[in-house]
Structure 1
Amino acid sequence: MSDALLQIRNLTKRFETPSGTVHAVENVSFDIPRGSIMGLVGESGSGKTTLGRTLLRLIEPTSGEIRFDGTDITTLNARAMRDMRRRMQIIFQDPVSSLNPRLKVGDLIAEGLRAFRIGRGRDRRDRVAALLEEVGLSPDHMNRYPHAFSGGQRQRVGIARALALEPDFIVADESVSALDVSIQAQVLNLLLDLRARRNLTMLFIAHDLSVVNYLCDQVAVLYLGRLMEIGPTGSIQRASAHPYTRALNSAIPQPDPRAARNRTPLQGDIPSPLAPPSGCVFRTRCPHVAEYCASGRPEAHLLGGQHHSYCKRTEELYGQ
């Protein structure tokens, strides 16, 4: 029996627009083991948020399977999916716009409890107070409005709200990108603590590979809706094989400015998902592009363990 809480198979999401079909997510497959954190990294426009919200069926997939604890949730009706959502929650990127400014913090955190008729009166207030303490805030804060808090505190409120229904799985969508670096570290450590205490499984979406390296057990690299590379975090750090991943790794700041750097800057902009390049979608920006990269989707190249690269030239370039 698989230890994966979430199993994604050939997941595709396309949007029909007046200008044509947007290929947001194409044929993505991966597993997230129970109690682990999967990092999903890539530039803006790579499809990370669309993928995360599709996993929760906040956006309906075009095709593919999303198996949550053995159940393909793409087949569930609205009532069954509502019950499943108690186990699947999201932390949004913007801690300002994701919180209703007209509601007190206690009411914001209790929204899910009210929706599922969990507790009432004093019991519900005690639950909210405990959640506030768990994320590093005071129970007295439940009577304040969101504008009275800093950005980091508001994000802690968002985390408490996501935890209220005691979910098994959380999508954290760029949840620290709007915060100062010192506050980022505090929130990341909070997420690690919550994972350990609650045995949470997470998909952590980010554009900063250094943040993903710190927090996550596995990393999936997404570009224009396609997987470029996936594997254990340490392996992706030490032995990344896809040219795109290597470019992302080379952009991570080094603590010693005198240390030698082997930078691989990306040239140009990410293409439009309305007209993705044929073959390997990264080929228009790849420093190692070959003529055959324009035809046929790259297959997964096993590098060892669970580390895969989706590059036709992996073995030729790196001997792997």
Structure 2
Amino acid sequence: MHETAAAPPLISIRNLSKRFETPRGTVHAVRDVSFDIPRGSITGLVGESGSGKTTLGRALLRLIEPSDGQTFFDGIDLNTLGAGAMRAMRRRMQIIFQDPVSSLNPRMRVHEIIGEGLRAHGLGDRRKRRDMVAGLLAEVGLQPDHMSRYPHEFSGGQRQRIGIARALALEPEFIVADESVSALDVSIQAQVLNLLLEIRDKRNLTMLFIAHDLSVVEYLCDKIVVMYLGRAVEIGDAGPVYRAPAHPYTRALLSAIPIPDPERQANREILAGDIPSPLSPPSGCVFRTRCAHALETCARGEPGAHAVSANHTAFCKRIEELA
């Protein structure tokens, strides 16, 4: 970790929830999630598709408005800010989107894409902005003369580097990376991950890295938040979570990581069925319908937080009763 123990976290999420109203009913995409993101660290947010990871990341930045809860950025409750104050705050928070194709405007040249935020916030004149864009391209491993090209002239990995340069343009303190390597080839993934680590160290950035690939998260992240059906089920420093996962869902996710050794037998924990519909989640523990260790009490009331060890918490009634 890059922060001292006494340093307050840059981001504090408290009881954050997001509901969507649909013709079929209310969808609780994120429900009562709380965790901190330490300064200078990378926190991984993991879970299956439909677990609420992207919704939480966007609600944190107020790209979509949260339904309940609080998000503190450097002690400021973002959910209380008006439009003007929030616009100024956006210089300190940025996002790298998942798809490096659809997230870049095909009708804009690279210098326009990266410089759009600079223009919107009135930073520098035209010449100064082009110099800044050239510097950003060099920082992410591209050539300054690339700024006159269009997105379709680049590979997928190069497009994602452009997206990273755009996110860095306003010199933010915090970045949400939403599945930012999932659309890339494995060899390109490694290059982009190393680039993110270099940028974090150089700029002392704080990141929320959203992913479903736990091997990538293990390599990159200092802290892990595991989500299932809109709820956080395990939170902790990466080392303890990977060495001794406490929640059955986390153990199943970790057991699915491929082992690059044909002579080693993987000990898989296969989950039964599919993730339930968020329109009608199970009562009590939302994971109980797929859990091989479910108890009768799991259907009655949501599980509370159980401290597994220092900086490691799991939300599981089985842990509570066996502790």
- Say yes or no: TM over 0.5: yes
Alignment correspondent of 2:216: 211
- State the alpha-carbon separation in 1 of the partners of residues 307 and 7 from structure 2: 20
Does structure 1 residue 225 correspond to structure 2 residue 254?
A: no
Shift of 1:261: 2.1
- State the alpha-carbon separation in 1 of the partners of residues 260 and 239 from structure 2: 19
Shift of 1:295: 0.9
- Go from structure 1 to structure 2 and tell me whether the alpha carbon gap of 1:2 and 1:27 turns closer, same or farther (over 3 Å shift): farther
Choose from 103, 113, 118 the match for 2:123: 118
- State the alpha-carbon separation in 2 of the partners of residues 147 and 206 from structure 1: 25
Give 1:3's aligned amino acid: P
Q: Which moved more, 1:115-124 or 1:165-174?
A: 115-124
Alignment correspondent of 2:315: 310
- State the alpha-carbon separation in 1 of the partners of residues 77 and 121 from structure 2: 23
Q: Tell me the secondary structure at the aligned position of residue 4 of structure 1.
A: coil
Alignment correspondent of 2:194: 189
Could you give the per-residue CA deviations for residues 283-313 of structure 1, whole angstroms, max 9, x where no partner exists? 0111111111001111111011110010111
Does structure 1 residue 147 correspond to structure 2 residue 143?
A: no
Q: Tell me the secondary structure at the aligned position of residue 308 of structure 1.
A: strand
Q: Tell me the secondary structure at the aligned position of residue 268 of structure 1.
A: coil
- State the alpha-carbon separation in 2 of the partners of residues 72 and 105 from structure 1: 34
Alignment correspondent of 1:246: 251
Shift of 1:2: 4.9
Alignment correspondent of 2:287: 282
Q: Tell me the secondary structure at the aligned position of residue 317 of structure 2.
A: coil
Does structure 1 residue 86 correspond to structure 2 residue 91?
A: yes
Alignment correspondent of 2:106: 101
Shift of 1:316: 5.2
Q: Tell me the secondary structure at the aligned position of residue 302 of structure 1.
A: strand
Gaps of 5+ in 1: none
- State the alpha-carbon separation in 2 of the partners of residues 255 and 203 from structure 1: 27
Could you give the per-residue CA deviations for residues 67-112 of structure 1, whole angstroms, max 9, x where no partner exists? 0000001000011000000000000000000000000011100000
- Go from structure 1 to structure 2 and tell me whether the alpha carbon gap of 1:316 and 1:258 turns closer, same or farther (over 3 Å shift): farther
Does structure 1 residue 272 correspond to structure 2 residue 272?
A: no
Shift of 1:315: 5.2
- State the alpha-carbon separation in 1 of the partners of residues 89 and 127 from structure 2: 27
Choose from 59, 67, 77 the match for 2:64: 59
- State the alpha-carbon separation in 1 of the partners of residues 49 and 296 from structure 2: 27
Alignment correspondent of 2:304: 299
Shift of 1:256: 1.1
Could you give the per-residue CA deviations for residues 199-258 of structure 1, whole angstroms, max 9, x where no partner exists? 000000001111111100000000000011010111111000100000000000111121
Percent of aligned pairs with the same residue? 73
Shift of 1:161: 0.2
- State the alpha-carbon separation in 1 of the partners of residues 233 and 272 from structure 2: 17
Give 1:152's aligned amino acid: G
Give 1:189's aligned amino acid: N
Shift of 1:18: 1.0
Alignment correspondent of 1:171: 176
Choose from 15, 19, 39 the match for 1:14: 19
Does structure 1 residue 130 correspond to structure 2 residue 135?
A: yes
Runs of 4+ in 1 over 3 A off after TM superposition: none
- State the alpha-carbon separation in 1 of the partners of residues 234 and 28 from structure 2: 19
- State the alpha-carbon separation in 1 of the partners of residues 249 and 126 from structure 2: 53
Alignment correspondent of 1:30: 35
Shift of 1:260: 3.0
Aligned CA RMSD, in angstroms, stands at 1.0
Choose from 257, 268, 291 the match for 2:262: 257
Could you give the per-residue CA deviations for residues 26-67 of structure 1, whole angstroms, max 9, x where no partner exists? 000000010000000000000000000000000101110100
- State the alpha-carbon separation in 2 of the partners of residues 278 and 270 from structure 1: 14
Alignment correspondent of 2:50: 45
- State the alpha-carbon separation in 2 of the partners of residues 40 and 267 from structure 1: 23
Gaps of 5+ in 2: 1-5
